[in-house]
Amino acid sequence: MIRLLTAGESHGKALSVIIEGFPSNIPLSKEFIDNQLRRRQMGYGRGGRMKIETDQAEILSGVRFVKTLGSPIALNIINSDWENWTTPMSHTKVKEKVEKITVPRPGHADLRGISKYNFNDIRNSIERSSARETAARVAGSTIAKRFLEEFGISVGSYVESIGNIYPKNNFTEKLLENNIRKDFSAQKLADQADQSEVRVLDKEQEKKIIRKIQTAKKRGDTLGGNIVVVASGIPVGLGSYMHFDRKLDAAIGFEFMSINAIKGVEIGSGFTSADLFGSKSHDEIILKENILSRKSNRAGGIEGGISTGLPIIVRAAMKPIATLMQPIQTIDLSTMKSIKARRERSDFVAVPACAVIGEAALAWVLAKFMLEKFGGDSLEETKENFKNYNNKLFTRIRKNFFN
């Protein structure tokens, strides 16, 4: 079992992570973690905070000579902005007058936070509910990403749409119809998306999206979008139908729905398949180079809660950022009068960053299911189990059915 725990407030001193349960001897460098943190900060349309921060992880424990020890890994990411918040975020009482926030933003956790935790200042809710936490989550999940790489599994992502602007040729359809090269790698896909300021795969679409973000900015408004996260090199057989909480797709659903601002998740052709005939919705079984395969991948790489060996395709919808510079109506809790919601520095669009966070989420689930299936206290042991299983998989099917 692997575990990940994050701590830290958005404008506190630092974000911290503890990751536990990974085998020893996984190569892991600070550069690898920092690169994922850098990718999470990218994207046209982000707010002022990203100009202040250059997120970097300090490795406090669990790694020696660039390899994991099998012990808990502790990471620390300093918030550079903390210097501007020492008084409002002080651990001790302060003499200075600190602004008390009384105007909740619709769509954020402000109102529910103060009522649930009995606070008299919305700042107390803002700090932990902020998507800043995802920096810690991404940093922690790099271990999962690095672990998967050792098995030839890569996880990548791209932005499918922002503000309802889709590409002319939708790459997601190509993935679902299995019209991709045999050596398809999710890593290469991510590298391609990283070349775009909004992490899309189409140049025309990129231009249109940037124009739409500029319009949103001018209007003091925000935008959301759809992200696609893909994993390639997946072995057959991760997850199980034997019990509902062992299903791989169920675990993916949970992990994605826990990302800030995600309001919908689908695996494979998901919502579209609900509108189709069964004959147009399922993936025919074929023999490809003497190996059992599928004509299409509308199931998104999972059938019966178990990985099919084809790429895992997850699509998720991110709602627009809740903080608006031209705010909508709310109630000032100190007067109980209707008022425009509070303006607070924020992003106009964070969909590109969300796709990178989605990679972290999918990598985490896959690492968890890989370790559940193949076990091992050291990377070498896990690899031996993996190899042994893969080598015998098709021989077993042939032996059981085909004489």
- Residue 357: CB minimum distance to ligand EPS, A: 9
Q: Which is nearer to ligand EPS, 18 or 321 (CB)?
A: 321
Options 264-272, 284-292, 343-351, 386-394: segment touching ligand EPS (CB under 6 A)? 343-351
Beta-ladder partners of 267:
314
323 binds ligand EPS (CB under 6 A): yes
- Residue 340: CB minimum distance to ligand EPS, A: 17
d(CA 221, CA 352): 17
- Residue 9: CB minimum distance to ligand EPS, A: 10
Candidates 2, 8, 9, 10; binder of ligand EPS (CB under 6 A) is 10
Number of residues in contact with ligand EPS, rule: CB under 6 A?
Answer: 16
347 binds ligand EPS (CB under 6 A): yes
Beta-ladder partners of 77:
15, 57
132 binds ligand EPS (CB under 6 A): yes
Q: Which is nearer to ligand EPS, 135 or 312 (CB)?
A: 135
222 binds ligand EPS (CB under 6 A): no
131 binds ligand EPS (CB under 6 A): yes
47 binds ligand EPS (CB under 6 A): yes
Q: Which is nearer to ligand EPS, 201 or 356 (CB)?
A: 356
Cβ pair 246, 200 in contact under 8 A: no
d(CA 230, CA 187): 9
Token duo for residue 69 = 């020890």
Cβ pair 186, 171 in contact under 8 A: no
346 binds ligand EPS (CB under 6 A): yes
Backbone angles phi, psi at 119, to 5 degrees: -100, 160
Strands (E), 201-310: 225-232, 262-267, 285-288, 291-294, 302-303, 306-307
Candidates 345, 396, 398, 399; binder of ligand EPS (CB under 6 A) is 345
Candidates 68, 76, 125, 130; binder of ligand EPS (CB under 6 A) is 130
255 binds ligand EPS (CB under 6 A): no
Backbone angles phi, psi at 6, to 5 degrees: -115, 155
Subset of residues 52 to 91 that bind ligand EPS, contact rule: CB under 6 A: 81
d(CA 276, CA 273): 5
Cβ pair 208, 165 in contact under 8 A: yes
Which one-letter DSSP state was computed for residue 27? B
State the residue for tokens 């559940």: 372
Q: Which is nearer to ligand EPS, 288 or 345 (CB)?
A: 345
Residues sharing a CB contact under 8 Å with residue 39, sequence separation 6 or more, in sequence order:
194, 356
321 binds ligand EPS (CB under 6 A): yes
d(CA 181, CA 206): 24
342 binds ligand EPS (CB under 6 A): no
Q: Which residues bind ligand EPS (CB under 6 A)?
A: 10, 47, 49, 81, 130-132, 134-135, 321-323, 345-347, 350
